[in-house]
């Protein structure tokens, strides 16, 4: 009697193969080709088991903001406007941003000492009398609380313009208005001394002033030139 091939575990002959064997007279193996009655293959279940279960992600829930919730800040903050108190750089005369070098004379005829004291916005002395053509060195000693400078104006009518231009100038000296000043000094910080020099102009009264912002209205003195 012919032997039927061995079945591997989990394998089964197809019914086409069994019919072919029966036609050859191999009736004894028909039972081996018959599927086991207790094994029921559910093709749908097999398909479901072999296919992974994919669950669609639910879209994020959207809800309108409640009355008490805070909205998110904007990604880019709005640019801040320019500070109105500060003038644009194009409004400042380039010469006013230069280095201040107080005038000097190789030889002088006399030296005058001016002082600032305490919190008072005054020059000491408040009046100086000199002869026309005198070569003068001014030594400005600042024993006060604030910084000060010394400017001798050619005309008292120019004081407002000088003070306004000095606000944005280096050391509060408006070099762009040099023609309206007879002489000027550097800034004298508290406890410091600065010097400058000039030749006494034609006879008349001339005003000297501190052009540090806020000082020009009160910190004034008079130079009296005599023949």
User: Mean pLDDT, 10 residues at a time, over the chain (227 residues)?
Assistant: 46 45 43 45 47 48 48 44 43 90 97 97 98 98 97 97 96 97 98 98 98 97 98
Q: Which of 157, 194, 186 is nearest to 170 (CA)?
A: 186
Which pLDDT belongs to residue 91? 75
Show the beta-strand stretches assigned E in 58-202. Answer: 110-118, 127-131, 135-144, 151-153, 181-184, 193-199
Q: Which of 128, 127, 157, 140 is nearest to 191 (CA)?
A: 140
pLDDT of residue 72: 52
The span from the CA of 209 to the CA of 159, in Å, is 8
User: Which pair of tokens denotes residue 12?
Assistant: 């089964």
pTM: 0.61
Residues of CATH 2.60.40.420 domain(s) within the chain?
96-226
**Residue 145, pLDDT score:** 96
If one counts every other C-beta atom within 10 angstroms of the C-beta of residue 162, the result is: 23
- Residue for token pair 């009655």: 37
Q: Kindly state the greatest CA–CA separation across the chain.
A: 159
Say if residues 167 and 96 touch (Cβ distance below 8 Å).
Answer: no
Amino acid 90: pLDDT: 52
Class assignment of domain 96-226?
mainly beta
pLDDT score recorded for residue 78? 41
């Amino acid at each position: 009697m012919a032997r039927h091939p061995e079945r591997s575990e989990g394998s089964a002959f197809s019914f086409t193969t069994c019919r072919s064997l029966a036609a050859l007279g191999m009736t004894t193996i028909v039972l081996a080709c018959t599927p086991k009655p207790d094994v029921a293959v559910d093709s749908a279940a097999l398909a479901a088991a072999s296919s992974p279960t994919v669950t669609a992600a639910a879209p994020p829930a959207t809800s309108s903001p409640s009355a008490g919730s805070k909205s998110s800040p904007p990604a880019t903050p709005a640019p801040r406007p320019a500070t109105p108190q500060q003038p644009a750089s194009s409004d400042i005369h380039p010469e006013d941003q230069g280095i201040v070098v107080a005038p000097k004379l190789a030889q002088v005829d006399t030296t005058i000492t001016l002082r600032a004291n305490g919190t008072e916005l005054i020059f000491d002395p408040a009046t100086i009398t000199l002869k026309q053509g005198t070569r003068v060195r001014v030594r400005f000693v600042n024993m006060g609380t604030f910084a000060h400078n010394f400017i001798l104006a050619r005309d008292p009518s120019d004081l407002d313009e000088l003070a306004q231009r000095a606000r944005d100038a280096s050391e509060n000296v408006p070099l762009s208005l040099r023609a309206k000043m007879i002489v000027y000094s550097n800034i004298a910080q508290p406890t410091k001394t600065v010097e400058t020099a000039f030749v006494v102009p034609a006879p008349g009264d001339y005003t000297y002033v501190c052009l540090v912002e806020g000082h020009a209205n009160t910190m004034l003195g008079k130079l009296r030139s005599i023949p």
